[in-house]
């Protein structure tokens, strides 16, 4: 991972920076100057979100997250799959088979169809979500990604494999799952819905709670960090742009893990970029390895969306 610091202020700045609480350095920058390019390799950086904290001599602290899914985690990394099967409340395939009837306005509105998908002009279109390939890829109770990160999940198609949350009355608006020990990073396998009316604001929040009362929060924002289960976003870096790189999607029908659906699945259209069978998404949260974990809370914040959690894995 490569980056540099730029001093945009009218005064010189002296500060200490830390990368993922592993590696630190000290820099002094004159006004309007920039540092040399800093190159950091594993194990100091990880696949996904890397947090750079800056502590100024004045006492002020800032941080920035650099997301890089091309980094390969160190071969010495140790993963712990958290068993969240007791919290599963549905099958991932049921998301658009329900009737979402409340809460709804009693008046005439351009509201979302009762299936939870579509809009007023296409109320009967309903994508099919098929997790057969994902289930078949599970060995000894674990789905193993090509990057070496695995998630605990049942292969039996009759068993629930996701905990859904929503402001619809069909599901709870939040779920809290206990965590134990400590870790430097947390990976999440998630799936759910969103639509154009929920674009560019927080759809849900992941909160990781430590035993000392401090909290690490991760916002699920459409289209930066939250994705519709049934399709892939069209990104052209002009009118349709995002500030984060595409994450890995887990294709449910065949178990493929990909960041390049245009190439791997031939999705080339600008509109209706539907994914046959649907797809989950791999997300992550950087943690403080010196703090003991207490719990993870998933909470839906926006109406008309469904946010689901399929797996949690901690990395030491």
Q: How confident is the model at residue 250, as a pLDDT?
A: 97
Task: Report the pLDDT value the prediction gives residue 297, as an integer from 0 to 100.
Answer: 98
Report d(CA 211, CA 189) in Å as an integer. Answer: 24
How far is residue 123 CA from its own chain's centroid?
A: 28
Instruction: Determine if the peptide bond prior to 103 is cis (ω within 30°).
Output: yes
Q: Is 270 exposed, middle or buried (0-12, 13-18, 19+ CB in 10 A)?
A: exposed
pTM, 2 dp: 0.93
CA nearest 222: which of 312, 283, 285, 163? 283
Give the C-alpha separation, 69 to 1, whole Å: 10
Residues lower than pLDDT 50 in the chain: none
Question: Phi/psi at 256 (nearest 5 deg)?
Answer: -65, 145
pLDDT in the model for residue 110 = 82
Q: Would the CA dihedral through 162, 167, 171, 174 be positive or negative?
A: positive
Domains of the chain are 2-68 (2.60.40), 79-315 (no CATH)
Residue 197 phi/psi, 5-degree rounding, is -75, -15
Phi, psi (deg, nearest 5) at residue 296:
-120, 135
Cα-flanking dihedrals φ and ψ of residue 138, to 5°?
A: -80, 125
pLDDT of residue 263: 87
The per-residue pLDDT for 232 is: 93
Contact 208, 216 (CB under 8 A): yes
On whether the CB atoms of residues 34 and 14 are closer than 8 A, the answer is no
- pLDDT for 194: 96
Q: What is the pLDDT of residue 136?
A: 97
pLDDT score recorded for residue 137 = 97
The pLDDT score that the predictor gives to residue 186 is 97
């Amino acid at each position: 991972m490569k980056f540099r610091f730029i001093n945009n202020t009218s005064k010189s700045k002296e500060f200490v920076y830390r990368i993922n609480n592993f590696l630190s350095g000290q820099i002094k920058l004159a006004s309007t100057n920039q540092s040399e390019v800093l190159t950091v390799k594993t194990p100091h950086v990880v696949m996904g979100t890397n947090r750079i904290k800056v502590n100024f001599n004045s006492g002020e602290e800032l941080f920035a997250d650099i997301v890089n899914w091309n980094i390969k985690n160190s071969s010495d990394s140790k993963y712990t799959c958290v068993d969240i099967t007791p919290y599963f409340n549905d099958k991932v395939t049921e998301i658009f088979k329900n009737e979402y009837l409340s809460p709804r306005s009693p008046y005439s509105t351009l509201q979302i169809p009762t299936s939870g998908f579509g809009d007023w002009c296409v109320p009967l279109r309903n994508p099919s979500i098929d997790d057969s390939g994902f289930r078949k890829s599970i060995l000894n109770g674990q789905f193993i990604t090509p990057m070496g990160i695995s998630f605990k999940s049942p292969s039996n198609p009759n068993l629930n494999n996701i905990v859904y949350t929503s402001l619809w009355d069909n599901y709870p608006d939040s779920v809290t799952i206990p965590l134990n020990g400590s870790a430097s990073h947390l990976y999440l396998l998630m799936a759910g819905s969103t639509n154009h009316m929920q674009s560019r604001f927080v759809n849900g929040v992941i909160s990781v709670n430590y035993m000392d009362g401090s909290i690490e929060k991760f916002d699920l924002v459409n289209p930066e960090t939250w994705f519709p289960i049934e399709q892939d976003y069209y990104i052209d870096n002009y009118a349709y742009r995002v500030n984060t790189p595409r994450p890995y999607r887990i294709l449910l029908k065949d178990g493929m893990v990909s960041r390049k659906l245009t190439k791997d699945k031939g999705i080339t259209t600008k509109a209706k970029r539907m994914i046959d069978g649907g797809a989950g998404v791999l997300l992550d949260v950087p943690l403080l390895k010196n703090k003991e974990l207490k719990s993870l809370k998933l909470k839906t914040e926006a109406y008309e969306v469904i946010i689901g959690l399929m797996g949690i894995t901690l990395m030491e």
